[in-house]
Amino acid sequence: MIRFVRAKIDGVAHVGRVDGEAVDLLDHDDPLAAIRGEGTVTSTVPLDELALLAPIEAPEIWCAGVTYERSRDARLEEAKTDARDVYALVYDADRPELFMKDANMVRTVGPGGSIRLRSDSSWMVPEPELAIVLGAGGEPVAVTIGNDVSSRDIEGANPLYIPQAKIFAGACAIGPHLVVPDDWDAVYPVAMRILDAAGNELFSGETSTARMKRSPGELAAWVMRDNPVPPGSVLLTGTGLVPPDEYTLAPGHTVEIEIQGIGLLVNTVSATVPT
């Protein structure tokens, strides 16, 4: 499932089901309805003629942290205060770390959009994550790819700075597809590459959701606990891929995140918010 515009025809958002290199255009623009199988195909259009949008206009985007051992280790390494033990404690606790990343898509871009850097950070990284879409009852109904762009130096200075390290203009990307899994216990290989402006590879790594300590369903249940999250919201489930400490995102870099069975999310890096 994708959302897209046909700029040369009408310039409005559409929803369609991908079938190879073609897309079946539906008679509505509601991704949740499409996930439920609702809608009639009105036409079929070539995929390469479409400009992809974020696959859903999520009313809220939430993130889970420290769900992989590698993420826990990286957070311990970056921490500069005696409070560093909180990361080890939350990894082993029943209750996960959860935080809101965005609301109404004001800080989130789709495929091809520009993720951005905080002006007051000197150490920023992408975080590739399996993302789940929540239905009307908070149950997972689809998956996509997420990028939880983060400032490691701000978070490392004090864990109470996590909202500033995580929430800023261009701090998130989702896409390109929504996929309804046949098996919600399926394991997803996750790969990330970072390229400089000349196309040279700066980082390449792989992990798997098999290394997650908590299941997507468990995380969804926690985010919904006593919390009225609207349907269509997205939950990023944590990262198991961390670039080396000497790397930081810079303007002109490109981040490619691939999750097998979902697609390839590509975003460039910009320094400032357009005025």
Same domain as 11, residue 143:
no
Average pLDDT over residues 140-156: 96
Domain boundary residue, one of 52, 69, 92? 52
pLDDT value of position 271: 83
Same domain as 35, residue 164:
no
39 pLDDT more than 70: yes
Q: Which CATH number does the domain housing residue 178 bear? A: 3.90.850.10
Same domain as 129, residue 12:
no
Q: What is the DSSP string of 197-246?
A: TTS-EEEEEEEEGGGBSS-HHHHHHHHHTT--PPTT-EEE---S----TT
**Total domain count for the chain?**
2
Is 275 among the domain residues?
no
Same domain as 108, residue 35:
no
Of the chain, the percentage scoring pLDDT greater than 90 comes to: 81
Distance CA 84, CA 207 (A): 24
pLDDT value of position 76: 54
Same domain as 94, residue 212:
yes
Confidence band of 69 (pLDDT split at 50, 70, 90): confident
Same domain as 43, residue 64:
no
Model confidence over 197-248: pLDDT tens digits? 999 999 999 999 999 989 999 999 999 999 999 999 999 999 999 899 999 9
Domain housing 243: 60-270
pLDDT value of position 68: 86
CB 73 within 8 A of CB 110: no
Model confidence over 138-147: pLDDT tens digits? 999 999 999 9
Find the angle CA(61)-CA(67)-CA(69) to the nearest 5 degrees: 145
pLDDT value of position 90: 82
pLDDT value of position 184: 92
Same domain as 165, residue 214:
yes
Is 200 among the domain residues?
yes
